[in-house]
Structure 1
Amino acid sequence: MLFKTKFIPLAIALAFAGSAGAQEVIKIGHVAPVSGPSAHLGKDNENGAKMAVEELNAKGIKIGGKPVKFVLVLEDDGGDPKQGTAVAQKLVDAKVNGVIGHLNSGTTIPASKIYFDAGIPEISPATTQTKYTQQGFNSAFRVVANDAKLGGTLGAYAVNKMGVKKIAVIDDRTSYGQGVAEEFVKGAKKAMPGVQIVGKEFTTDKATDFNAILTTIKAKNPDVIFFGGMDSVGGPLLRQMKALGIKAKYMGGDGLCTESLPKLAGETAVPVVTCAEAGGVPPELQKNMDDFHARYKKKYNMDVQLYAPYVYDSVMTMAAAMQQANSAEPAKYLPVLQKIKYQGVTGLIEFDAKGDIKDGSLTLYNYNNGTKTITSVIK
């Protein structure tokens, strides 16, 4: 009997201790193209998500009074819409608590309906196609400015600041590429109704030979060529543009505006590029962004390519909504996410009724002999 009276309290104590120490697992899905031509950008996004989750777990966060552990469920959509919807369904089946992604508009838009139907919040750190948040899905958010602002601002900048009068446009036929190119033309025409669109050509997001369309454009002698697409195509296109002796300036959206562009274009071929990143911080907040870049480089021994800070902030914003709601259940934290105000490294994150970031910034850049330099930050 003496043995039993000592044993029972010990067993109860051990069981209680185990229960108290148990962590609730919160699964955050992350989708980006970590294979294919934009793999360098997808890996950059993935690294940003990993940094955020590691830092969240180091803080020992409790939600609903219980210790939690955040776990990333990583998926590769290859930048392909069909693959994007397949991995979206995979994440739904895995019962993730939320999704960060996708990178490309062409994969994000079709996947967003799958998340909406499942009631799972999605924050895209990179999708700029205007349509994404115009589908009526209350689960879809983005932390960067959309193409209407990005392309439109670049179009106005080309006319008002660069003195452009004749424009040629090339897009890669993706949802993103077509969208940003169309908004660029709208912005240019609004700024100067008499601006001439002397050529509209298109390629694909996997093309490598652009001589035919560039020869056609060269004959029209444009002041600027605007490319709607990613750096993996935009870089080689610029290289061939230079080889053909085309003197026009070269512009593009955020997909072009990467650290890898000079290498993809040939180091000496990038003195005349103007592009915009769908985000950016004013000078008073630049230290936060600089600190993130330094931490990223120390951890991964490489520079941020493009959207890693926005991925990091997307994860942190979602986690903040869960903490404020005292629940990681999508139905419970989604209303909080819709009204969130989170101060991230990229600035204040707050969404409008459609899920677009309020007062989204743009950062204009030029490349000078292969070096990417900020021209201005525009609200």
Structure 2
Amino acid sequence: MKSAIVTPPETASRNALAVIATVAAGAAVYWLRDILTPLAMAIFLLIMIDGVKRTIEARTPLPRRWAGVAALALVVLAFFASIGIIVNGAAGFFGEASGVSQNIGPRIDQIIRDVYGLFHLVNPPTAQDLINSIDLRGYLASTAMQVQGIASSAFFVLVYLGFLLASQMGFQRKIVAMFPAKAHRDEAVAVFQRVRGGVEGYLWVQAVTGIMICAAAWLLMRAVGLQNAEFWTFVIFIVGFIPVLGGAVAGLAPPLFALVQFSSYWPAVILLVGLQIILFVVGNFIQPRMQGDNQNIDPVVVLLALAFWGKLWGVVGMFLSTPLAVMAMAVLAEFQGSRWMAVLLSGDGEPYADKGPRKGGKTPPKPRRKPATKGDAEAAG
């Protein structure tokens, strides 16, 4: 008979303390979500600005100072352009949709009758019956509150971003003060580089694959004749940064609107099948080849992170769920006591290829890291 595994009292106490601390941190994050969500978005934009800055420095003759100004201008303009496209696109979408608004009710009634007839059901409801059963006023009020929240959050994001950019100038001195020993300072900068590389890699893959999906989807929607295809194209690109749910919205929203716009079911069927093929090919063949070790995240962890951060921070949490999971894995993998959590978060049990045992059971030698430079310390801010 096998003996039970004995857990030392100090280990049990440490694990219980870690669970309590995790629950308390989650409660604090939820309670302070109005403050933390704009800050998280500002940090997200700061990492984007740093990546664009280094790209400009490497590929253009601009000096270091002007490269930072150009990167800031590009990211801020893109941020405002996204908000403008959403507002103007939504206005244009509803404006063009008014051309078919007179036929929406009868068309929905026809769709309901056809569905009931397909399953041999009787007494189908009408569109007016469905509308009467919905608290439309409550939904409109909730939508208005969300739009107001997005506008105020955008303002605070820019305020936080300005202060973060201003604090970068003194970050190098803070790094030196926190880590007087050069070896420890190099290790701290290496941790930041891993976090930054993971987030930038995620952004790069999602942006490139999103452009591929949008290009193919736009051609398909224009070929079918869907109204305001440009608005749907932008929606598909934005929701592509939300795991799981983004693909569902991108593959189902345009076909559902096509059901109402067209008198035939074929355009909606063509859009549904075509978009699903596009999403399947990009998601299963192109995207995995572009992902590197810094996105070695278990799919279950991606789903749990989406549910967790979506519950805490709403739509903003859904957008940031995967980058936050990447950052958590990068930080946890750097410490011996928390490396086991990074292993659980990873997809193949190896958070990073240069650390820990490989699949052959051999432990590779620890790689020599380049000493931290002044640019790395400044970038860490």
The TM tier, using the shorter chain, reads under 0.3
Return the structure number with greater helix share: 2
Name the TM-score, length of structure 2 as normaliser. Answer: 0.27
Q: Which has the higher strand share?
A: 1
Structure index of larger Rg: 2
Q: Which has the higher contact order (CA 8 A, sep 6+)?
A: 2
